Amino acid sequence: MSGHEHDHDHGTGQVPEGADHFPAEVTARLEPDAKEIIGRYPKPRSALLPLLHLVQSEEGYVSRAGMRFCADQLGITLAEVNAVATFYTMYRRRPGGDYQVGVCTNTLCAVMGGDEIFASLKEHLGIGNNETTEDGKVTIEHVECNAACDFAPVVMVNWEFFDNQTPESVRELVDDLRLGKDVAPTRGPLSLCTWKQASRVLAGFDDGRAGEGVQAGKPSLAGLNLAKEKNWRAPEPGDVPAEVEEGEK
Amino acid sequence: MTTLTPILSRNWDRPDSFTLEGYRATGGYGALRKALGMEPDAIVDLVKASGLRGRGGAGFPTGMKWGFLPKDNPNPRYLVVNADESEPGTCKDIPLMLANPHVLVEGVAIASYAIRSHQAFIYVRGEVVHVIRRLRRAVAEAYEAGLLGKDILGSGFDLDVVVHAGAGAYICGEETALLDSLEGYRGQPRLKPPFPAVAGLYASPTVVNNVESIASVPGIVSGGAEWFTSMGTEKSAGFGFFSLSGHVANPGQYEAPLGITLRELLDMAGGIRPGHRLKFWTPGGSSTPIFTEEHLDTPLDFESVGAAGSMLGTRALQIFDETTCVVRAVGRWIAFYAHESCGKCTPCREGNYWMVQVLDRLERGQGTEADLDKLLDICDNLLGRSFCALGDGATSPVMSSIKHFRQEYIDHVEKGCCPFDHSRSTVWADRTATTGGKQ
């Protein structure tokens, strides 16, 4: 098992096996949420991506029953939902851990140490890409660029930023997650929420945590801090005429 | 000497920069009030006069894009903000939305008013949960304060804004794929024409603009076109984020006039990390041909970078020093393009798949010199032969790396292995006391 890579392991293109429908209680509970999501858009079909996040927040992955729920809400077929669910990498095709740990191994992060981090993580946990620890806590995968290159190497847990990581810091991180300790992202809420909770935020339901955490990390402020130190400023609208004349010469 | 011009980032050091209160304390939403007192067409003209060009990579004039909306089409008009920032190396919109989402919301309100749209969408990549929280809260705060919704600031103008989370697909940064995705389909590019201005979201007239483009609009409304053109160059007006990453002493966001050089930026960022020298860099993400030391003084504006054989792109300056294997770097980028190709166009789907195989054996030292010709041949069959620019982008690192570093590819062939020790490239390689990274 260990070290075995499956790069495109989001299942086959087939609709997964399993129950055809959610239990009646789940359907009844999710239907008002689905209606609210659909109501945001001029056309109902636009709600499909958030609806898939919603069913993922229920089961931790997109099951056959979850797809059927989406199809029923929108009046489209199971095959149409499946075609969309299999296209996007954030939808899990099978159950996974409470914490999805993604190590960026796109070029910049890989060169800065992402490859070493991912190799060390696989060895530490004894699992491979897209596999889950036996306690069901942690799923690991390598991810593509997550728009935090100035914080490389970057690790994402449940799509929250863990910046400037090392193999040691990530081993400690997953150990803490498995022990049930509170773990705080570098730029994010004060503690991690679970995969299901994060999926609900993605479906568009606020968890009231937007105000937590820093407004910006150190690299984000690098230019601003230097400008303040050197007293560099953008021109004020009032300063402009002189510069315009210069440009017109 | 060019100096920095913090504008969009000027309030980022306030701990409350992402709140309505924090944004208003630094003048926020003054531009919206001013704009609502202007004729919509006058705002379009102002943005045209400013010379603002799209900050998402392509550099198309923003005001001109707005002006393309047909006057006689009875369908509703839509503004869609492309916040699907996923181009490798590009990391400006995400920190912007985390620290200052209100400048984007204000820009959305002004731009929607200018193009007479009453419904806007912010399509943000799904893999940034906290950014999505911040955006949603900013939108909710703006509604509560009467800055969005019905009769904004008593002007009679109505606007609804929806923050829409994507689900993981680089291709959705391409504007027509984004629209398909927003309609609830697989994100695959559409054949153009018709362009989104004519038949965009739900086949209605639509403007799709990058986050930084829209966030630049409030400043233009407040400061005027001449203020904006007082920065930058004649054809590349204004300012933008230059995102330095990789082997530099102080990576990060540097907001500067277009036309600044990497030499100047490196001076500001403390130079290449100590004891090393610059080997290659991307001016604007992985889809822009790589540059080397000889391009240190190339002005980073659309025209100069183009004339030097690359593209300004998103000003994502990924910096690599002499410890980095260029074959490894390029191979990893192409693995990305192969993974992200939507599969619609054969040259992109198949070409990238085969380039991964060839680059992989080259990196392991099992390739041949003929493989270089094979790569260039594949690029020739890829470039310009697909619906969208994803496939074109993939050819950039391959062709430019063979142009600048052909010998390094041949070294792999001749040595039968990679001549580089990859551990020397890591951030912890030069730390004497290993607090992290000991293998």
State pLDDT tens for residues B144-201: 999 999 999 999 999 999 999 999 999 999 999 999 999 999 999 999 999 999 999 9
Over residues B278-301, mean pLDDT: 98
The architecture in CATH of the region A99-193 reads: 3-Layer(aba) Sandwich (3.40)
The predicted pLDDT at position B439 comes to 38
pLDDT in tens, A86-113: 999 999 999 999 999 999 999 999 999 9
B-chain residues near A53 (CB < 8 A) = 126, 165, 167
In chain A, residues with a C-beta closer than 8 Å to the C-beta of B168 are: 88-91
Higher pLDDT pick, B157 / A14: B157
| A226:B268 CB<8 A | yes
Q: Give the span between the Cα atoms of B422 and B321, in whole angstroms.
A: 12
The CATH code of domain B239-321 reads 3.10.20.600
Choosing among B23, B26, B91, which should be mutated to test the A contact, i.e. which has the most A CBs within 10 A?
B91
Residue spans of the domains in chain A: they are 1-95, 99-193
Q: Is the pLDDT of residue B96 over 50?
A: yes
Q: How does pLDDT run across B203-233, given as a tens digit for each residue?
A: 999 999 999 999 999 999 999 999 999 999 9
The domain spans of chain B are 20-227, 239-321, 326-423
pLDDT at A12: 65
The residue-averaged pLDDT of A37-65 equals 98
Residues of chain A contacting B256 with CB distance shorter than 8 Å: 223
Chain A residue numbers with beta carbons less than 8 Å from the beta carbon of B80 are none
**A164-184: b (≥16 Cβ within 10 Å) or e:** bbbbbbbbebbeebbeeeebe
Contact B141, A157 (CB under 8 A): no
A15 vs B52, higher pLDDT? B52
Eight-class DSSP state of B291: E
Q: Answer yes or no: do A108 and B245 touch at CB < 8 A.
A: yes
A54 confidence band (pLDDT: 50, 70, 90): very high
Q: What is the pLDDT of residue A249?
A: 33
Residue B435 has pLDDT above 70, yes or no: no
Give yes or no for residue A3 having a pLDDT over 50.
no
Reported confidence tier of residue B1, pLDDT bands at 50, 70, 90: confident
Nearest to A168 among B202, B269, B436 (CB): B436
Question: Using 50, 70 and 90 to split pLDDT, how confident is the model at B316?
Answer: very high
Q: What is the pLDDT of residue B432?
A: 64
Residue A7 or B122, more confident = B122
In sign, the C-alpha dihedral spanning A232, A235, A238, A240 is positive
The DSSP secondary-structure symbol of A160 reads: E
What's the pLDDT score for residue A2? 34
Report the CATH architecture of A1-95.
Orthogonal Bundle (1.10)
Predicted confidence band of residue B202 (pLDDT cuts 50, 70, 90) = very high
Question: pLDDT digit string (tens) for B125-160?
Answer: 999 999 999 999 999 999 999 999 999 999 999 999
Q: What residue in B sits closest to A71 (Cα-Cα)?
A: B184
The chain A residue lying nearest B101, using CA atoms, is A215
Phi, psi (rounded to 5 degrees) for A99 = -125, 120
- B326-423 fold: de novo design (two linked rop proteins) (1.20.1440)
pLDDT given for residue B431 in this prediction: 84
Q: What is the ipTM of this complex?
A: 0.96
What percent of chain B lies above the pLDDT cut of 70? Answer: 98
Q: What is the mean pLDDT of residues A193-209?
A: 97
Mean residue pLDDT of chain B comes to 97
Is residue A70's pLDDT more than 70? yes
Residue A70 annotated in ligand binding: no
Closest CA to B314 of B27, B86, B127, B40: B86
Q: What is the mean pLDDT of residues B369-385?
A: 97
Tens digit of each residue's pLDDT (9 = 90 or more) over B256-276: 999 999 999 999 999 999 999
For residue A109, say whether it is annotated as part of any ligand binding site.
yes
- Whether A45 contacts chain B with CB within 8 A: yes
Query: Is residue B279 classed as helix, strand or coil in its secondary structure?
Result: strand
Taking an 8 Å cut-off on Cβ atoms, the answer to whether A143 and B127 are in contact is: yes
- The CATH architecture to which B20-227 belongs is 3-Layer(aba) Sandwich (3.40)
